[in-house]
């Protein structure tokens, strides 16, 4: 199930690592996560759900959905998709019982005091750290759950459009490496560490945990930038939780970052840019794409991407969706059917497609739960992809000193995320100690982001941001009068 | 079975039935009755879908459905992280 040949990516696997899955000896490579090593060994069922005992596999691949949790070295509820594989690891699925002799591990506690804490080391978070470091003499900390920085950039193999300042013409993986190197000059970085909560103790305070190492970080921060990204949308259909039903991004992660194929042949639900790009990436990795189904009457993504996929013989069915995932322990097929004007299936149009995975590429929802916990007012804004933390032009939320940037602030492209991160950083910096050229820096960044949101494809982002700013100022006025 | 909340194994039917039976108007109420969004992912997967179901069933605008309060811990941690014992 490993990718053998790839036109763009080279997977230089590290040494072999021995581990045990439910008592069986298995091997993975250095650089694998537990989940990718298991998947490469042909393990698709990662456990069974606690109540209905339904088989479950991974879904998101980036630690958000918690569908891949297992007991690792005796520690329960480890998200195997973001935990690096280590020699001799004991991995057990379906362990819900409390250990009889509870191995109480007294966590090591570390306190930190920083000027700017950045949650999430993707494009927005890294850009914020770099910008803060360039313009001011402040302590900056990036906290990320993943084993490496880069967020979703690390799985993008295509060349970016957009602004040349934000790395257009380069591939996402290259941009990620360059930015990581620079971010390390300016910021302290905690990887494999999850922020578990925000607390107000008269100042901003975060608690973060590195679970396998057993370290709890207690972080006091003057300003916090939440660059927490987004969560892949899930879709309701019969058997939608069967192993083999994966998020499009989850597939990109195991395939483009770890070099593990999701299966032999699959279908993709959603013909937006993510679905179309995923189709092409699957073909590059030597995986068949049997069909792309799109509920809308038109393809949502760029014409160039659709044309490329069609040239390779992949049919795109518009006004179609998935009815059912077929299979016992994992996906063996998919039933698709046509939709009528009221989004109901037209009976008699069902088609069964043999496939061993189904990719869900129907968009993303901003991850704003931590910002919400920090007091940021959240509102549902359709154009932004769901509930977003209201914020102003400087990316500050309705909670003082709490910023949001990137996909967490509205689903958009990586270049916009980077500029937003920079704006947040400059504003945070200026409110810690005033910058002499603050206005000029911000104006330049604002111009850059406006040019990214120009034209037809920027329309949605422009609308979303207008609504978000409106909501922010409404909320502020409400607070003053109330 | 059409699953909405993977963590708590809740189906679309479970959610629709609860809304109708208890005349629910908010996600917080659904959370209290069903544990919707209280599992390890803390509602990241299910809440957007449940919000649409709630809006559809109750005739509310999706814009008026608010997410339930967000509380720590947002990821599963051992109990020792949040409270320490002497022994």
Enumerate the β-bridge partners of residue A199. Answer: A205
Which CATH number do you get for residue B26?
1.10.10.1100
Q: Quick check: A246 pLDDT over 90?
A: yes
- A56 contacts on B by Cβ (under 8 Å): 6
Question: Which among B40, B51, B69 is the nearest to A66, CB-wise?
Answer: B40
Tokens of A402: 């709490």
Q: Quick check: A424 pLDDT over 70?
A: yes
Residue where a domain terminates, one of A319, A345, A364: A364
- Cβ of residue B86 closer than 8 Å to a chain A Cβ: no
- B8 contacts on A by Cβ (under 8 Å): 51
Same domain, A267 and A331: yes
- Cβ of residue A73 closer than 8 Å to a chain B Cβ: no
Question: Quick check: A209 and B75 CB within 8 A?
Answer: yes
Same domain, A32 and A136: no
Q: What is the pLDDT of residue A85?
A: 96
To test the contact with chain B by mutation, choose from A63, A75, A228, A231 the residue with the greatest count of B C-beta atoms within 10 A, namely A231
Residue A213 belongs to domain spanning: 108-231+365-481
Question: Quick check: B41 and A194 CB within 8 A?
Answer: no
Is residue A5 a part of any domain in this protein? no
DSSP A238-295: BTTTSTTEEEHHHHHIIIIIT-B-S-SEEEEE--SHHHHHHHHHHHHTT-EEEEEEES
Same domain, A353 and A415: no
What's the gap in Å between the CA of B36 and the closest CA on chain A? 13
Question: Which among B6, B44, B81 is the nearest to A231, CB-wise?
Answer: B44
Is residue B41 a part of any domain in this protein? yes
Helix, strand, coil % (nearest 5) of chain A?
A: 30, 30, 40
Same domain, A221 and A250: no
Q: In whole angstroms, what is the distance from residue B87 CA to residue B70 CA?
A: 31
DSSP reduced 3-state for A367: coil
Q: Indicate the pLDDT class of residue A315, thresholds 50, 70 and 90.
A: very high
User: Which range, of A101-105, A196-200, A439-443, averages the lowest pLDDT?
Assistant: A101-105
Same domain, A324 and A393: no
Q: Are A271 and A299 in contact (CB under 8 A)?
A: yes
Q: What is the pLDDT of residue A213?
A: 87
Q: A210 vs A193, A387, B40, CA distance in Å?
A: 4, 28, 16
- Which whole number is the average pLDDT over A96-111? 75
Residue A429 neighbours by CB under 8 Å, 6+ apart: A116, A132, A135, A136, A138, A435
Q: In whole angstroms, what is the distance from residue A459 CA to residue A479 CA?
A: 30
Q: What is the pLDDT of residue A234?
A: 95
- Cβ of residue B17 closer than 8 Å to a chain A Cβ: no
Is residue A102 a part of any domain in this protein? no
User: What is the total count of domains within chain A?
Assistant: 3
Put the strands of the sheet holding A69-72 in their side by side order: A24-29, A16-21, A90-92, A69-72, A75-79
Q: Indicate the pLDDT class of residue B85, thresholds 50, 70 and 90.
A: low
DSSP A27-58: EEETT-BHHHHHHHTT----EE-TTT--EE--
User: Which range, of A148-162, A355-369, A422-436, B13-27, averages the lowest pLDDT?
Assistant: A148-162
Q: Quick check: A480 pLDDT over 80?
A: no
Tokens of A16: 């072999």
Q: Quick check: A146 pLDDT over 60?
A: yes
CA A115, chain centre distance (Å): 26
Residue B22 belongs to domain spanning: 3-68
User: Which range, of A54-68, A182-196, A264-278, A417-431, averages the lowest pLDDT?
Assistant: A54-68
Is residue B78 a part of any domain in this protein? no
Q: What is the pLDDT of residue A162?
A: 56
Is residue A98 a part of any domain in this protein? no
- Cβ of residue B12 closer than 8 Å to a chain A Cβ: yes
Is residue A3 a part of any domain in this protein? no
**Start-to-end CA span in chain B (Å):** 46
Question: Quick check: A236 and B74 CB within 8 A?
Answer: no
User: What is the total count of domains within chain B?
Assistant: 1
Q: Are A318 and A298 in contact (CB under 8 A)?
A: yes
- Percent residues over pLDDT 90 in chain A: 82
Q: Quick check: A160 pLDDT over 60?
A: yes
- Cβ of residue A104 closer than 8 Å to a chain B Cβ: yes
Q: Quick check: A237 pLDDT over 60?
A: yes
- Which whole number is the average pLDDT over A212-236? 95
Q: What is the pLDDT of residue A166?
A: 60
Tokens of A281: 């990436």
User: Which range, of A164-168, A207-211, A227-231, A354-358, averages the lowest pLDDT?
Assistant: A164-168
DSSP reduced 3-state for A63: coil
Q: Indicate the pLDDT class of residue A104, thresholds 50, 70 and 90.
A: low
Q: Indicate the pLDDT class of residue A247, thresholds 50, 70 and 90.
A: very high
Residue pLDDT, tens place only, B30-81: 999 999 999 988 999 999 999 999 999 999 999 999 999 999 999 888 877 7
Which CATH number do you get for residue A66?
3.10.20.440
H or E element, residue A141: strand A140-143
Residue A157 neighbours by CB under 8 Å, 6+ apart: A8, A9, A171, A172, A173, A256, A281, A284
Is residue B17 a part of any domain in this protein? yes
Residue pLDDT, tens place only, A54-81: 999 999 999 888 889 999 998 888 999 9
- B45 contacts on A by Cβ (under 8 Å): 59, 64-65, 231, 234
Same domain, A379 and A443: yes
Same domain, A378 and A307: no
ipTM (interface pTM): 0.94
Residue pLDDT, tens place only, A115-137: 999 999 999 999 999 999 999 89
Query: Mean pLDDT across chain A, nearest whole number?
Result: 93
φ/ψ of A459, rounded to 5, equals -60, -45
Closest CA to A25 of A1, A7, A41, A10: A41
Q: In whole angstroms, what is the distance from residue A38 CA to residue A78 CA?
A: 14
Q: Indicate the pLDDT class of residue A164, thresholds 50, 70 and 90.
A: low
Closest CA to B37 of B53, B21, B59, B61: B53
Is residue A418 a part of any domain in this protein? yes
Full-model pTM:
0.94
């Amino acid at each position: 199930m490993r990718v053998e040949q790839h036109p763009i990516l080279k997977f230089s696997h590290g040494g072999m690592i021995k581990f045990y899955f439910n008592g069986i000896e298995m091997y993975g490579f250095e650089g694998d996560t537990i989940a990718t090593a298991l998947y490469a060994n042909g393990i698709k069922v990662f456990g069974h759900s606690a109540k209905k005992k339904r088989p479950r596999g991974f879904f998101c691949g980036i630690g958000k959905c918690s569908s891949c949790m297992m007991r690792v070295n005796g520690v329960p509820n480890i998200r195997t998709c973001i935990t690096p594989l280590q020699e001799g690891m004991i991995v057990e699925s379906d362990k819900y019982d409390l250990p009889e002799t509870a191995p109480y591990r007294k966590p090591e506690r570390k306190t930190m005091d920083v000027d700017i804490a950045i949650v999430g080391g993707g494009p927005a978070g890294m850009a914020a750290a770099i910008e803060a470091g360039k313009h001011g003499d402040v302590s900056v900390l990036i906290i990320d759950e993943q084993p490496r920085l880069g967020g979703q950039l690390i799985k993008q193999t295509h060349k970016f459009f957009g602004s040349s300042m934000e790395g257009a013409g380069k591939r996402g993986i290259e941009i990620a490496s360059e930015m990581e190197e620079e971010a390390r000059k300016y910021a302290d970085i905690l990887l494999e560490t999850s922020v578990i909560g925000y607390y107000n103790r008269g100042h901003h305070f975060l608690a973060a945990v590195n679970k396998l190492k057993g370290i709890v970080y207690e972080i006091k921060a003057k300003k916090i930038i939440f660059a927490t990204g987004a969560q892949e949308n899930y879709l309701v259909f019969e058997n939608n939780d069967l192993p083999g039903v994966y998020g499009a991004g989850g597939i990109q992660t195991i395939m483009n970052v770890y070099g593990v194929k999701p299966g032999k042949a699959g279908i993709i639900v959603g013909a937006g840019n993510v679905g179309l790009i995923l189709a092409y990436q699957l073909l590059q990795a030597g995986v068949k794409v049997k069909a792309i189904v799109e509920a809308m009457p038109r393809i949502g993504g760029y014409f160039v991407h659709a044309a490329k996929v069609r040239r390779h013989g992949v049919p795109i069915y518009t006004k179609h969706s998935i009815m059912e995932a077929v299979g016992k322990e994992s996906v063996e097929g998919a039933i698709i059917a046509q939709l009528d004007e009221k989004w109901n299936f037209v009976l008699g149009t069902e088609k069964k497609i043999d496939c061993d995975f189904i990719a869900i590429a129907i968009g993303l929802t901003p991850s704003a739960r931590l910002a919400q916990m920090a007091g940021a007012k959240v509102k549902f804004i359709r154009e932004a992809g769901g509930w977003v933390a209201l914020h102003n032009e400087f990316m500050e939320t309705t909670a003082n000193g709490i910023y949001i940037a990137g996909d967490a602030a509205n689903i958009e492209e990586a270049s916009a995320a980077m500029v937003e991160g920079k704006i947040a950083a400059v504003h945070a910096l200026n409110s810690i100690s005033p910058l002499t050229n603050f206005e000029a820096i911000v104006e330049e960044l604002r111009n850059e982001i406006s040019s990214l949101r120009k034209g037809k494809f920027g329309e949605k982002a422009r609308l979303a941001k207008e609504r978000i700013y409106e909501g922010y100022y409404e909320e502020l006025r409400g607070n003053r009068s109330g | 079975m059409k699953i909405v909340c993977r963590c708590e194994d809740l189906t679309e039917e479970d959610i629709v039935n609860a809304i109708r039976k208890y005349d629910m108007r908010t996600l917080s109420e659904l959370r209290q009755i069903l544990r919707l969004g209280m599992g390890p992912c803390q509602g990241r997967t299910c809440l957007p879908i449940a919000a649409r179901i709630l809006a559809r069933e109750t005739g509310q605008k999706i814009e008026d459905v608010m997410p339930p309060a967000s509380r720590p811990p947002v990821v599963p941690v051992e109990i020792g992280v949040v409270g320490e014992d002497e022994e």
